[in-house]
Amino acid sequence: MVARIKNLSAPDIEEWVHSSKGRTEFFEVIRASISGLCKEVKNSFDYFEVNKGERIEKMYITGGLSSVPEIGAFLKESLEVEVAVLDNLENFNIPFSDENFKRFKNSFSVAFGLSI
């Protein structure tokens, strides 16, 4: 969807999303989808609260979109919970310090989880 709207290739989309202007534009493009997701998550939170008598106060996000600050801020506002980015690799000794890896490491969450 974003590739068609912005006329970008897949590698170019990654670069664009991680630029400050791109992040803002990207968020506006996907806002409706994120709003729908928030409604579903809110329903799940409400169900949990009614059935368990406890309120969810914090949620963790991971994956490629967790590196877009606007996503976490929108989730926090919509769901009225604290939102934190889960760093799956924080307790692992990574033998290199490549800036590109640091920037995109949350994109590897599923692959990392499957490998352990």
Owning domain of residue 75: 2-115
Number of domains comprising the chain: 1
pLDDT score at 1:
65
pLDDT score at 3:
66
CATH number, position 106: 3.30.420
pTM of the model: 0.73
Q: Cα 109–91–113 angle (5° rounding)? A: 25
pLDDT score at 26:
79
67-84 pLDDT tens trace: 888 889 999 999 999 999
85 CB contacts (<8 Å, ≥6 apart)?
60, 61, 62, 66, 67, 72, 106
